[in-house]
Amino acid sequence: MPPLLIPLGSNQLTLVPCSVLDAPTKENAKAPEMKARRPKSSLPPMLGTESDATVKKKPAPKTPPKAAMPPQIIQFPEDQKVRAGESVELFGKVAGTQPITCTWMKFRKQIQESEHIKVETSENGSRLTIVAARQEHCGCYTLLVENKLGSRQAQVNLTVVDKPDPPAGTPCASDIRSSSLTLSWYGSSYDGGSAVQSYSVEIWDSVDKTWKELATCRSTSFNVQDLLPDREYKFRVRAINVYGTSEPSQESELTAVGEKPEEPKDEVEVSDDDEKEPEVDYRTVTVNTEQKVSDFYDIEERLGSGKFGQVFRLVEKKTGKIWAGKFFKAYSAKEKENIRQEISIMNCLHHPKLVQCVDAFEEKANIVMVLEM
């Protein structure tokens, strides 16, 4: 194409070269349009099918049924020690296939609810509540749980501590002289869950007629001095432990010093009842370390317990006689020696009104004294 003349101003012209481009073809004209319409993507093209358009959901996993389980006690208290009057709660948590039955027992007998004992049971466990603990609540408690697949049990010992019981029996005066006598007595049937530390001896006379504290001692006998011959005396004893002082024992018989016992008459009428009474068999007891108490006695129900140990009813196999077996806990040599000394003292205290020791056995962890009932 020839150059064009472009006016610049008045009377001035300039030459400007120009060129003509061919018109774009239809294909070239659509290319930019298609290019503009094509979306940009970093992913490679994928071929889709009809099935790909549907999102498949995975089925939820099925929870397998729980396997049947025998009962289990998964929580249970340790041994308990409480003061008298305090409340006690024993709770056992259980697991296993329901239904589970829970039974509380004491000394193998089912516990019945009462004013002082309550039992609450649910699927999770069972609770035994003692409203105000007393001496009779001491002992071994067992929780028995059962279902159709089996049973399980757990035990807990409950100790209720308190001041001791009064010394058992009646204090007895012996070896009576012009101004003195020996007073003897037996220990408490229950020590309150703590060993008796001492005894308080009280005296009453026929002139003052009031009870006074005479002395405190550690043994179960005391030599009373400076008594007057013109009056009669009575005695009683209290036991003392860390929790307090017991009520007084029974009172001794009235006793006067300076009197000689009457000589037995040559001829005494003996009734049929007197003939049937067996003579007191005083024995000097030595501790048997070779044999066991069960070799000679059948051990039956428990009669009492305390920190010292336990007392059981014994039946002598040879004769069928009934005795009391006092089982002392004795782990150390010192503890065993203390019990041997007590046996030696009882060997010296021979009196119809004093409980006699008739046998003794030493085993691995205890010493057993066989006593009159």
Please check whether residues 176 and 126 belong to one and the same domain: no
Domain final residue pick, 119, 139, 160: 160
Q: Is residue 155 part of a domain?
A: yes
Q: Is residue 48 part of a domain?
A: no
Q: Is residue 288 part of a domain?
A: yes
> Which residue type sits at 137?
H
Please check whether residues 142 and 83 belong to one and the same domain: yes
Please check whether residues 305 and 366 belong to one and the same domain: yes
Q: Is-contact 231 220, C-beta < 8 A?
A: no
What single DSSP character describes residue 26?
H
Q: Is residue 256 part of a domain?
A: no
Q: Is-contact 169 204, C-beta < 8 A?
A: no
State pLDDT tens for residues 219-244: 889 999 999 999 999 999 999 999 99
Phi, psi of 51, rounded to the nearest 5 degrees:
-70, -30
Give how many domains the chain has, as a whole number. Answer: 3
Buried b (16+ CB within 10 A) or exposed e, 172-200: bbeebeeeebbbbbbbbbbbbbbebeebb
DSSP string, 144-212: EEEETTEEEEEEEEEEEE-SPPPBSS--EEES--SS-EEEE---BS--TTS---EEEEEEEETTT-S-E
Please check whether residues 298 and 348 belong to one and the same domain: yes
Q: What residue numbers does the annotated binding site for ATP cover? A: 326
> Residue 298 is part of which domain span?
282-371
Please check whether residues 214 and 153 belong to one and the same domain: no
Spell out, as residue ranges, where the chain has pLDDT lower than 50: 10, 29, 31, 35-36, 267-268, 270-271, 273-278
Q: Is residue 222 part of a domain?
A: yes
Domain final residue pick, 221, 245, 269: 245
Q: Is residue 203 part of a domain?
A: yes
Please check whether residues 144 and 190 belong to one and the same domain: no
Q: What residue numbers does the annotated binding site cover? A: 326
Q: Is residue 67 part of a domain?
A: no
Please check whether residues 156 and 177 belong to one and the same domain: no
Q: How many CB atoms lie within 10 A of CB 344?
A: 14
Q: How far apart are CA 16 and CA 32, in angstroms?
A: 31
Domain final residue pick, 132, 160, 188: 160
Q: Is residue 36 part of a domain?
A: no
Please check whether residues 211 and 149 belong to one and the same domain: no
CATH number at residue 314: 3.30.200.20
Please check whether residues 191 and 128 belong to one and the same domain: no
Q: Which two tokens stand for residue 177?
A: 């002289």
Q: How far apart are CA 233 and CA 236, in angstroms?
A: 10
CATH number at residue 130: 2.60.40.10
CA 161 to chain centre: 12
Please check whether residues 229 and 204 belong to one and the same domain: yes
Please check whether residues 124 and 79 belong to one and the same domain: yes
Confidence at residue 277, expressed as pLDDT on a 0 to 100 scale: 46
Confidence at residue 326, expressed as pLDDT on a 0 to 100 scale: 87
- pTM equals 0.48
